[in-house]
Amino acid sequence: MGSIIGNTIWSLHMNQNVDQFRDAAVKVGAEVHQLESVDEAAAYLAARLNGTLLYSGCPSLERAGLKAALQSTGVDCVDQGFRQAAPAAAGGVTGANFGIAATGTIVLESTDEAIRLATTLPDKHFVLLDPAKILESADAAVPLMRRFHEQLPQAYLAYLTGPSRTADIERVLTIGVHGPVELHILLLEGLSGDPLER
């Protein structure tokens, strides 16, 4: 009985985090969609790409078989030589370590140059995130950050909140100057419950 109640409470809490995350991410210009399968994710990307996709090869995406699913839809996936391919790429796809519900933020370990290129140079960044890895607040991420730096002291963590934006001295907002014009966050259960893994 206790485990049923505990599971129900956890499920309600997770759903609240997902709803809050979605609302916050949409407010800052991201698109957020809950999907049922990797094939659905591949179809989503294929419908929104007109060109090459930088495929980062994150462990959770590899296990899920995303690359094969993308290729079956005709998406041209580049998984090496990112420096040469990135300037002309239409999009980049990554996993995520975790999300922060309060701000709609994606946190991504970006030590690998391929991750940084996939998330900054193309006009579209697609992120697949397991909703079980959405934390309530930035404070809840502090223990995870400690674990990251204990395991990999040189780790670089990027906090991504919405598409790239900047404003000049006259406060004219421009989207996509220093990074993607579009951020698509695809919530897919069962990718990876481990926040130390992308």
pLDDT one-digit tens code per residue, 41-58 = 999 999 999 999 999 888
Q: Report if residue 27 sits inside a domain.
A: yes
Domain of residue 165, residue span: 2-188
Q: Report if residue 196 sits inside a domain.
A: no
CB atoms within 10 A of CB 96: 27
Does this model's pTM top 0.85? My answer is yes
- Tally of structural domains, the chain: 1
Residue ranges in the chain assigned as alpha helix (H): 2-27, 38-48, 59-64, 66-72, 82-85, 113-120, 138-151
| CATH at residue 50 | 3.40.50.10420
Q: Report if residue 169 sits inside a domain.
A: yes
Q: How confident is the model at residue 64 (pLDDT cuts 50, 70, 90)?
A: very high
Q: How confident is the model at residue 10 (pLDDT cuts 50, 70, 90)?
A: very low
Q: Report if residue 93 sits inside a domain.
A: yes
